[in-house]
Structure 1
Amino acid sequence: MKGINMTIGIVIGFTVIIFLGFLMLKGRTTQASPNISDKVLETKNQTVPDLPVGFGYKCMWFAVKTDDKAKIARILGIKNVKECNWKVGIEKAYAGSIFITPAIDGWTLSCGVGLPHDGSEESIYEVKELLQILSKEFGEAQFFSTHRIVEYHCWMKATDGKVSRVYSYLGESGENILIEGTPIGFEKSLKLANTFSDEAKDNKYFEREDITWADEELVMKIAGEWSIDPSQLDKRKDVAPSLGLLGQK
């Protein structure tokens, strides 16, 4: 009988230990769940400041020398403007909206496939008008666009209300859409394709190895020299969490 009682006692003891362990584990899980829930909510809440998110490929953007996001929104004619963080803003920009970023190194970027540019010559002139207005207001404004599927690449620059440089190339047709002004900075070291030139009348021109044909990496490099390379923003460690503006054209 004594042995039986001892066995029962041991079983009861183990049961109590297991039960207490279960309660402790449950308590820890309950304490941790609010943090997990908060993180989920944070990623969905566009008003929570966050760090920069890289973009640029298959997109278009203005770079303006100012930190006045609201005035940029008015000049670009953006509607339904609301504060928004990087994560949601960039995601929406690729879905048709326009995201105006917080200022970085004195530059504010306005990006999104909803901007008025489809690669046509008409839309290029529309962008030129906006650059003239933006640069007259803020001193300097730039525009960049790149589309991987049709291999369309474009960059423009304006200072004090005057457009000084336009370069656009459509790889799908193998021709430039519009070229204005002379190369700036890094461009000078390249022999950029110019299908309007007399040289291009010779078919061998398109086989020359000394000709530089625009691609998306070149767009990023020029953007980085002129102002900001947006494809590298997520690598920045010197930018504090912040909010931009989100709207539609």
Structure 2
Amino acid sequence: MLFIVAIFVVITVAVAFVWFAPTITTPRIIFDVRPDRPAPFGYKMGWIAVRSIDTIAVVEALGLVGPVISNWDSGIGTVYDDQLGERRLFVSPPVDGWTFVVGLALPHPMSPAFIDKWTPMLDGLAARFKDVQYYFSYPLIDFYAWAKYTDGKLVRAFATSDAGTVLSRGKPTREEKALGLKLFELRGVRERRGDAGGEIILHPTEDHVMRLAAKWSIDPTTFGPASASQALGWIAEAPAHWRPERLRKSA
């Protein structure tokens, strides 16, 4: 009798394992590797534009983790996904000589209360590539940023949020001025006066970020089948040291 019960127990455990196995194994994410043409991005997104056709060199320069081949459709879909895009980036095939690193996992300028992860990332990239540009557009928190490096040197960097100017380095470029942005901390409508007595000016919007990208390199919201031939890029995870860290207060 005990022998029969033991057999039933073994069978029950075996069946249970087979039944629950799909739920206890780690899911494997498979990205589409069929070459396709560029897909647009830019709104509610961050990206780096690097003047290079060597995509794997860009992956290596940034220290991205576990790169896997992916086409445009899977890559852009991943970085816009709330879960998949939290730690992943898409490194695109070249478009007109530019490689794009796309994703909200990119570091961005933050308040002095946080360790600066943004500057070292861009400085390191600019040391290896002639032209490096950074853009971030996220209207949900009224955050907009851009930066331009040429020949390894910072030309201009600016970031603003709903709390005001986060960062401003270098003089506003001719292209920025052409957009009508004086980039003061006061915001609003031209030719009105605020309580502080200074001119209230137009605050940056997503449209300004895209228009500036078009002047400095390429506006990625215009990408489509005619932008480049079919090709493949890379999906990779952002390195752990990019994660935001607060500065520790000294005793």
TM range (shorter): 0.7 to 0.9
Q: Is the partner of 1:165 in helix, strand or coil?
A: strand
Query: How far is 1:98 from its partner?
Result: 0.3
**1:180/1:118 Cα in 2 relative to 1: closer, same or farther (>3 Å)?**
closer
Evaluate the alpha carbon distance shift between residue 223 and residue 245 of structure 1 in structure 2; reply closer, same or farther with a 3 A threshold: same
| Correspondent of 2:166 among 177, 180, 189 | 177
Match of 1:135 in 2: 126
Q: Residue 72 of structure 2 aligns with which residue?
A: 86
Compare 122-131 and 238-247 and name the one that shifted more. Answer: 122-131
Q: 2:23 maps to which residue?
A: none
TM-score, normalised to structure 1's length? Answer: 0.72
Instruction: Choose the corresponding residue for 1:98, options 72, 75, 89.
Output: 89
Equivalent AA in structure 2 for residue 205 of structure 1: G
Answer whether contact 1:121 1:178 (CA < 8 A) is retained.
no
Matched residues in 1 for 2:107 and 2:79: separation? 13
In the other structure, the counterpart of 1:248 is 237
Structure 2 residue matching 1:203: 3-state secondary structure:
coil
Match of 2:38 in 1: 52
1:122 Cα deviation (Å)?
7.0
Alignment correspondent of 2:144? 153
CA contact (8 A) 2:38 2:227 kept: no
**Structure 2 contact 67–235 (Cα < 8 Å) conserved:** yes
Question: For 1:76 and 1:53, how far apart are their aligned partners in 2?
Answer: 23
What is the letter of the counterpart of residue 228 of structure 2? V
Do the aligned partners of residues 75 and 188 (structure 1) sit closer, same or farther apart at CA in structure 2, a change above 3 Å counting? Answer: same
Change (3 A) 1:80 1:178: same
How many angstroms does 1:116 deviate by? 2.0
- Of 193, 213, 218, the residue aligned with 2:208 is 218
Counterpart Cα distance in 2 of 1:219 and 1:63: 13
Query: What is the TM-score normalised by the length of structure 2?
Result: 0.72
* Distance of 1:68 and 1:123 partners within structure 2: 33
Amino acid at match of 1:134: L
- Give the whole-Å Cα distance in 1 for the aligned partners of 2:214 and 2:114: 24
Give the greater-gyration-radius structure (CA): 1
CA change 1:126–1:224 in 2 (3 A) is same
Contact 2:109 2:159 in 1 (8 A): no
Q: What SS does the aligned partner of 1:223 have?
A: helix
The equivalent of 1:203 in structure 2 is: 196
Identity %: 30
Contact 2:109 2:167 (8 Å CA) reproduced? no
* Structure 1 residue 125: Cα displacement: 4.2
Partner of 1:228: 218
Paired amino acid for 1:186: E
